[in-house]
Amino acid sequence: MDNLIDDISILSDQEKEACEVVKVSENKNTGKERKLYNESYGCQMNFSDSEIVSSIMAENGFDTTSNVEDADVVFLNTCSIREKAEQTVRKRLVQFNGVKKNKPEMLIGVLGCMAERLKSQLLEEEKIVDLVAGPDAYRDLPNLVSQVDDGTKAVNTFLSREETYADISPVRLNSNGVTAFISIMRGCDNMCSFCVVPFTRGRERSRDPHSIVAEAKDLFDKGYREVTLLGQNVDSYKWSAEQNNKARLEKMNDIEVINFADLLAMVAEIDSNLRVRFSTSHPKDITDKVLHTINKYENICNYIHLPVQSGNTRVLEMMNRTYTREWYINRVDAIREIIGQDCGISSDMITGFCTETEEEHLDTLSLMDYVNYDFSYMFFYSERPGTLAEKKYEDDIPLETKKKRLAEIIAKQQKHSLARNKRDVGRRHKILVEGFSKRSNDHLQGRNSANKVVIFPKGNFKKGDYVDVLVNDCSAATLLGNAV
């Protein structure tokens, strides 16, 4: 049990790729009394939340450790998006129980989306869980830990309409010191019928733009060169002085509402050497104004994650995505027109959603041919308890059919990724260096504006540098080249 992280082989390759990798807190010893081991699953928002949790815990006497056996408190920040994600967490809880047998005073807490979905059920079902805290309850964690210290199990799954943790300065975990995530909003109001997020994360709310800009500026001053603005639907970011805090109205020169395009510009203007990325864009809400803003600022990266889910309008309607195939195509055309052919576009897709026919599946494949995505996260449908789809529709597509369709879209995406990367061969790309390549310390790795990983011999360059690289070779996943 020395290194639990090696056991992540229980995740499928698809899940590893689909952001569902695990991130573990690293050793930070500042002489505090107790130690926290934190493991996060799921999306970037969850990883970003773990940084907030670590900050709250650090204020309350906890250093972090990367070794579960040294920990006084173990937190699992969990994901509920697909059944597999929850199964992974359950397996981990059993493993942690093994560690706890030799260390009965160790406290095990479940945080995040699974905590919110299952609430106190987790305490009853999983006898080894001592504490359950939902995504809006992290300020209460020190208090919940004290409750457990005093001998009672502790639960807080209250969902807030206001909490954005705006004033908390996150402790950067697993950081390369160059790129960082900033949460700009929380929750989701969209109610896609397959999706559990509105139930686990609550109502959508936007964070004060001043606190976002201050966080980005602080990161830049500390040497970071790229921020990714995070939200489930960044295009519906909306902060109004009137709604949120009247006193700030004057400071903002009477601009009454800050929308996502405004926020992007505010962050981009911090410094032209600070790259700005964002995720996730919703096809129904992404405006031409946002696209023009991306085009206007060289440091806003030319990359848009625009999940389509399905290429068929009837299926999209059943998914409650509120756009049609034609609307989606129109948004892709607008991206190509306003930003250009080189703008990276990626997607999320679900195969085998309730009642999906073979012809409708072919519509997803033909849409992929139209868009030529650089990259996609692809899944087969997994029914989630409590969602609209679970209540209204039968999960009627056999697993083999879901998997067969998934294999077909994965194969198509592989071809498109390779073709899109081949277009980049023979061209110069501006790369922000993130560190050594995974395979060799003689090579550096970074990304171009379109979010593609580029590897090149290190020369005299280092982390945080911008380097012009002439790409001379590629695979479906990576570009290779030399500094020029």
Verify binding: residue 186, ligand SAH, rule CB under 6 A. no
Torsion, Cα of 297, 220, 244, 242 (10° steps) = -40
- Look at the chain and count its residues: 484
Verify binding: residue 402, ligand SF4, rule CB under 6 A. no
Cβ atoms of 302 and 344 closer than 8 Å: yes
Determine phi and psi for 64, rounding to 5 degrees. -100, 155
Long-range contacts of residues 129-137, Cβ cutoff 8 Å, at least 24 apart? 129/93, 129/153, 130/154, 131/107, 131/155, 132/156, 132/157, 133/109, 133/157, 134/158, 134/159, 134/200, 135/49, 135/111, 135/159, 135/186, 135/200, 135/201, 135/202, 136/160, 136/163, 136/186, 136/202
Which option in ligand F3S, ligand SAH, ligand SF4, none does residue 25 bind, with CB closer than 5 to 8 A by kind? Answer: none
Out of 68, 196, 318, 350, the residue judged to bind ligand F3S by CB under 6 A:
196
Q: Which stretch binds ligand SF4 (CB under 6 A): 10-18, 146-154, 187-195, 338-346?
A: 187-195
Verify binding: residue 307, ligand SAH, rule CB under 6 A. yes
Out of 175, 382, 401, 478, the residue judged to bind ligand SAH by CB under 6 A:
382
Which option in ligand SF4, ligand SAH, ligand F3S, none does residue 198 bind, with CB closer than 5 to 8 A by kind? Answer: ligand SF4
Which option in ligand F3S, ligand SF4, ligand SAH, none does residue 46 bind, with CB closer than 5 to 8 A by kind? Answer: ligand F3S
Rounded least distance, CB 382 to ligand F3S, Å: 11
Cβ nearer to ligand F3S, comparing 49 with 126? 49
Size of the site for ligand SF4 (CB under 6 A): 10
Verify binding: residue 190, ligand SF4, rule CB under 6 A. yes
Compute CA distances 143 → 49, 56, 67, 109, 335, whole Å: 18, 11, 24, 13, 48
Cα 50 to Cα 350: distance, rounded to the nearest angstrom: 27
Q: Which residue is associated with the tokens 């607008």?
A: 334
Verify binding: residue 230, ligand SF4, rule CB under 6 A. no
Out of 23, 40, 73, 82, the residue judged to bind ligand SAH by CB under 6 A:
82
What is the phi-psi region of residue 459: left when phi exceeds 0, alpha when psi lies from -120 to 50, beta otherwise?
A: left
206: which strand partners?
185
Cβ nearer to ligand SF4, comparing 164 with 190? 190
Enumerate residues 6+ apart whose C-beta is below 8 A from 207: 164, 166, 183, 184, 185, 186, 239
Verify binding: residue 79, ligand F3S, rule CB under 6 A. yes
Cα 99 to Cα 483: distance, rounded to the nearest angstrom: 48
Cβ atoms of 434 and 445 closer than 8 Å: yes
Rounded least distance, CB 207 to ligand F3S, Å: 16
128 token code pair = 């080894």
Rounded least distance, CB 61 to ligand F3S, Å: 27
Rounded least distance, CB 415 to ligand F3S, Å: 27
Q: Which stretch binds ligand F3S (CB under 6 A): 197-205, 350-358, 408-416, 459-467?
A: 197-205
Which option in ligand SAH, ligand F3S, ligand SF4, none does residue 82 bind, with CB closer than 5 to 8 A by kind? Answer: ligand SAH
Verify binding: residue 420, ligand SAH, rule CB under 6 A. no
Binding site for ligand SAH (CB under 6 A): 81-82, 194-195, 197, 232-233, 280, 282, 307, 309, 348, 350, 379, 381-382, 384
Binding site for ligand F3S (CB under 6 A): 42-43, 45-46, 79-81, 112-113, 196-197, 200-201
